[in-house]
Amino acid sequence: MSTAMKASGKIEGTNRKLFLNILTPEDGKEGYPAYLNEVNDGVRLPGHRVHVFINGSGENRWLTVSAPLRTRDEFGNYVTQPRTNAEGAFLNDKGVVVASDKEATQQFEYLRYKDGDEDKIVYGTIASMNIKNTKNDKTPTAFTMLNVKFYDDADALEIARMTFELKQYEEGSAERTEVETELATMRKERGTWMTFFIEEGHDYLRRHMGFDVREKGGNSPAPG
């Protein structure tokens, strides 16, 4: 799969830089496979395989990033482990079998749950992204950016649990209304706003994803 779009941003007041590479979609599968990479205080974390989905319709469309949620140690650091195949052999970053765990590439350890006899990975929404073409005063921005609400894995897990709980109550019930209110408050108050700058893929966003996108240096054609 080729890269459809590249974007990156920095969380203000920190040394955390995030890089999002969206890949061309696979036939017959929903969403866009992507990688979210992070460099924190100069340390590059393992790549995080995620999926990007388009939500809404018309002008009220936005993107969400769904990802397997990662475990943390007692100090709050993400837990990593050597990459292996189904037979337990160690793999490098190209998927080639290597002799030891020291030669293997590191990958995140993910939260899991039991569904009967099956061991499944826990997923959550770790970001929502809006195509940003105007400023707060409604005047045009110099070029299109992504306005991103980024949630850490702990918040994403809590939101996912509450979203599941919401489905257990009948529409219009007092219990459902209470959870809906709490969930809306959590989504609003949690997370960190940041700006992603689009480095590549403006035309893909226009022609294949249907967004109005303007490149740096001048206006770009409308979707077509």
Beta-carbon contacts of 151 under 8 Å, excluding residues fewer than 6 positions away, are: 124, 125, 126, 127, 159, 190, 191, 192
Residue 223 banded pLDDT, cuts 50, 70, 90: very low
Q: Do 23 and 208 form a contact (C-beta atoms < 8 A)?
A: no
pLDDT digits (tens, 9 = 90+) for 167-192: 899 999 999 999 999 999 999 999 99
Q: Give the per-residue pLDDT at 120.
A: 93
How many C-alpha atoms does 194 have within 13 Å on its Cβ side? 20
For residue 224, is pLDDT > 50? Answer: no
Q: Give the per-residue pLDDT at 218.
A: 58
pLDDT digits (tens, 9 = 90+) for 15-49: 999 999 999 998 888 999 999 999 999 999 999 99
Read off the pTM. 0.87
pLDDT > 70: percent of the chain: 96
SS3 of residue 52 by DSSP: strand
Q: Do 140 and 133 form a contact (C-beta atoms < 8 A)?
A: yes
pLDDT digits (tens, 9 = 90+) for 60-86: 899 999 999 999 999 988 999 999 998
pLDDT mean over 187-212: 94
| Cα Rg of the chain (Å, integer) | 19
Domain assignments of the chain as residue spans, ordered by start: 3-207
pLDDT digits (tens, 9 = 90+) for 106-136: 999 999 998 888 889 999 999 999 999 999 8
pLDDT mean over 129-151: 94
Q: Do 126 and 153 form a contact (C-beta atoms < 8 A)?
A: yes
